[in-house]
A and B are shown apart, each in its own frame.
Chain A
Amino acid sequence: MDLLTGAFGIHERALGVRSQRLEVLSRNIANADTPNYKAEELDFKAMLKETSREYISATHAKHYAALEEQADNGQRYRVPFNSSFDGNTVEIHVEQAQFGQAAADYQTTLNFLENRISGIRKALKGE
């Protein structure tokens, strides 16, 4: 059973983070013409750390509850190259480039997952 639970490793979580990044970028592109909108960005490293962190919980009445660390959802604001008149910090060419990269990243993670799956399939079939 251990073979299957950990089979996908970090890629399972990474796929979720990647799709969330696509979502943030698509929100930026959607708000390219919104006054005072601040472009967002995800800190991939911080997010992966956050999803993998296990919280210490008090399981006994005499345990001290662990100090709750400030949860970091990886949300950041982008620093624009040029400021714009209406306070919008979305630079559409930057977003397009980032979106392209995010799509490629997503496909990379998918490729890793596909490789794992075909590997497991081979092992199961005994080929």
Chain B
Amino acid sequence: MRTLDSVFGIAGTALNAQTVRLNTTASNLANATTVAKSEGEAFRAKRTVFKALVKEEMTNAGFQYQGGVKVDQVVDDPTPIRSIYDPGNPSADENGYVYLSNVNEMQEMVEMMAASRSYQNNVEVVNTARQLMMRTIEITKS
């Protein structure tokens, strides 16, 4: 029979996924002002794509299916790269242009808030499950 145990596992996968999302946001913000010599080298904002864990592909072979979420892939933001004329910059190309990253700070802050809220939600799930479990253990004391 399924017990409250799996709730911890499910919330755990979500905490993990949201941490990865927070990490990519931090990396994006850190590279917001990075400039590059060419459009190809310019930093592109990373986005995590989540995927629900389905029965066919379990996290650990041999363990019972419990579900949850995982980071399926990390993709580049398709927003076009901007270039500015800055001949004094050491990274400027032969025409004096540098290529900025396509990170939008505003969007990253929103993403950060969303990730941290989702993380908090899952922490709350773990807390509730823990309390219920402790009460269940104490059932014999009644």
Count how many chain A residues have C-beta atoms less than 8 Å from C-beta atoms of the other chain.
Answer: 29
Give the residues in chain A near B128, CB-CB below 8 Å: 22, 99, 103
| Closest B residue to A103 using CB positions | B128
Q: Are B7 and A26 in contact (CB under 8 A)?
A: yes
In whole Å, how far is B65's beta carbon from the nearest beta carbon of chain A?
Answer: 11
Which one of B2, B50, B51 contacts A23 once the chains associate, using CB atoms below 8 Å? B2
Chain B residues touching A, majority SS: helix
Interface residue B74 (Cβ < 8 Å from any Cβ of A): no
Which one of B1, B114, B129, B132 contacts A107 once the chains associate, using CB atoms below 8 Å? B132
Which one of A23, A110, A121 contacts B135 once the chains associate, using CB atoms below 8 Å? A110
In whole Å, how far is B96's beta carbon from the nearest beta carbon of chain A?
Answer: 40
Task: Report the separation of the CA atoms of residues A103 and B132 in the bound assembly, to the nearest whole angstrom.
Answer: 7
Interface residue A44 (Cβ < 8 Å from any Cβ of B): no
Q: Give the interface residue-count category, chain B.
A: 35 or more
Q: Are A29 and B4 in contact (CB under 8 A)?
A: no
Interface residue A57 (Cβ < 8 Å from any Cβ of B): no
Q: Are A19 and B2 in contact (CB under 8 A)?
A: yes
| Closest B residue to A24 using CB positions | B67
Task: Report the separation of the CA atoms of residues A16 and B2 in the bound assembly, to the nearest whole angstrom.
Answer: 7
Evaluate whether A35 and B122 lie within 8 angstroms (CB atoms) in the complex, with A30-B13, A117-B139 already known.
no
Q: Which residues of A contact B (CB under 8 A)?
A: 15-16, 19-20, 22-23, 26-27, 29-35, 37, 92, 96, 99, 103, 106-107, 110, 113-115, 117-118, 121
